[in-house]
Structure 1
Amino acid sequence: MAVILHPNETIFNDFCKKSTTCEVLKYNTCLGSPLPYTHTSLILAEDSETQEEAFEKLAMWSGLRNAPRCWAVIQPLLCAVYMPKCENGKVELPSQHLCQATRNPCSIVERERGWPNFLKCENKEQFPKGCQNEVQKLKFNTSGQCEAPLVKTDIQASWYKDVEGCGIQCDNPLFTEDEHSDMHKLEHHHHHH
């Protein structure tokens, strides 16, 4: 018997999904973004046994809000791994593209703690090429904050270490506020004479 594929089904659908048991999603948002599905699986997040644990891990990763350019690209990856869509006993795998997009902007992760194995792009079974993922369609709040004393900047040359998107303020942190105003007074003083 011939296999009839529905137009919207691609032949490679199979390696874009992984068989597992789906469970009802306990949270309807991931990192603040509403999820358009009702079931998930923890099979991809190897550091979490329960959804509560996955939620805690996501909270830990949220520290990357302070590296705005990283935060913008890592949210979909984290949600695709920690709270993926699961349907009919199959969980959607995050695409290779979703993984690769985080490597440069999030180089701080590599330096500070290293990526866990299940978030390494070399892991082709976890991150197959050419797959579409439901999470990629979500709108994330991509505005991260820079942690003081860093400030947001798009000027690459002034980014602080690996914190892409954040730089040191022009105010010299070595001077106190008072010293700054003293210096300004001096300047004004000179102008008047």
Structure 2
Amino acid sequence: MTGAPAGISALLLDLDGTLVNSEPLHREGYRIYFAEKGWDVPDLTIFTGRRALDVLEAEPGPWSGHDPQAVLDEILEHVPDEDPDPVAGARELILGARATGTPVAIVTSAPPSWVERSLASLGLGVGSVDLVVTALDVSAGKPDPEGFALACERLGVDPAAAVAAEDSPAGIRAALAAGVRRVHGITTTHDAAELRSAGAVEVHDDARPLVDLLD
């Protein structure tokens, strides 16, 4: 088949929590770090979907008064060195998009190295998607719309006709602010009510229902 399904200009996919269930690994890194420092562990959902450095710079917490980059570097040293588990349907979604000629962009708050490792856990390479927008490509992370807007610009597609998938309220708000009208929530890290409140048009347990959009 060639040409994207009618009404879908592109798929704009978050990575952590949407394609791979990596949030437990990241949260374990935070917990270990905070415990070693003797700090109270905050509500770690504040980090979900956002660049960690943005949170450390902007949000109050036990890290206040410390160098944000130094704190982040230490946190990353405590994240378990394990491949993330795939979210059900993630591999099929990317392969289905390729088969139907639907452009696919990964829009993530993670660095390029983590994108490569995560896709490898799905049995895929970076070349399986048309575009990757990482934390290094934008000046402002989610919930700022810059990443999604940049993805649409580089793909040359209308954001209003794109479909996005996100697991966090910050990511959902970012996609909507970029002009994406159909943003689907994945309940790997937040409950359905939170995702709907952020503006998700539909909420799913995993990525499998999104595959049906490509039929």
TM-score of the pair, normalised by structure 1? 0.27
Q: Which has the higher contact order (CA 8 A, sep 6+)?
A: 2
Higher helix share: 2
Instruction: Name the TM-score, length of structure 2 as normaliser.
Output: 0.25
